[in-house]
Amino acid sequence: MIKLIVGLGNPGQQYEKTRHNAGFLFVDCLADFFDASWVAASQFQGELAECNISGSRLVLLKPMTFMNKSGMSVGKVLRYYKFRPEELLVAHDELELVEGIVRLKRDGGHSGHNGLRDIIAHIDSRDFYRLRVGIGRPAAGKNVADYVLSKMSSDSQLSLMRLFELLLGCMGGVIEGDLALVNELVLSK
């Protein structure tokens, strides 16, 4: 059962609605949908919200440590609440999936994602769930860092929000760890 959902992103207004902040956007949608309020939690170097989904308490976290240092915040929350890595779901942007696709998986490497790399290092485990939010790759010859840190178009933002709305309908099963519910969720065009 998932007890902690972490959305990866970078704090600050300049990073709002960038592709790299897809994880922040997802947990913000969750908090809004379940009427949970974000609270600054300096002891965790992040913002926390708590909600109830299908009768289970769920903690939401947005690390305020910047993407590449997310593991510090995640590790502190896991230890404080005594959650196990397998009770963790990390929502993050995924270059290898086209925009409009979300996949849920458990376990695996970091695939070059620095936020995941830091979490794995701090919790000493790869055994956690990942909600991979497709952002696609930049055009050939374009810089990946510039691409992920650039603002999404209004059409892309709208598509992402529609995708998250579909995902909200599955959250009870996702919390239970039912990978089949979101093995691949695709927004129809």
Which sequence spans correspond to the domains of the chain? 4-186
Torsion angle, CA of 84/86/91/94, rounded to 10 degrees?
130
pLDDT tens-digit readout, 100-149: 888 888 888 777 789 999 999 999 999 999 999 999 999 899 999 999 99
Q: Which CATH number fits domain 4-186: 3.10.580.10, 3.40.50.12280, 3.40.50.1470, 1.10.357.10?
A: 3.40.50.1470
Q: What is the mean pLDDT of the chain?
A: 90
Q: Which pLDDT does position 137 carry in this prediction?
A: 92
Closest alpha carbon to 153 in 25, 22, 24, 19: 19
| pLDDT one-digit tens code per residue, 23-63 | 999 999 999 999 999 999 999 999 999 998 877 889 999 99
In a 13 Å sphere around the CA of 88, the CA atoms on its Cβ side amount to 29
| CA 28 remoteness from chain centre | 10
Q: What is the pTM of this model?
A: 0.93
72 compared with 188, residue with greater pLDDT: 72
Q: In what order do the strands lie in the sheet with 88-94?
A: 39-41, 46-53, 56-63, 4-7, 88-94, 129-134, 101-106, 185-186
Confidence of residue 64 (pLDDT cuts 50, 70, 90): very high
Give the pLDDT band (50/70/90) at residue 189: very low
Residues that are catalytic: 20
Residues 189, 63: Cα–Cα separation, whole Å = 32
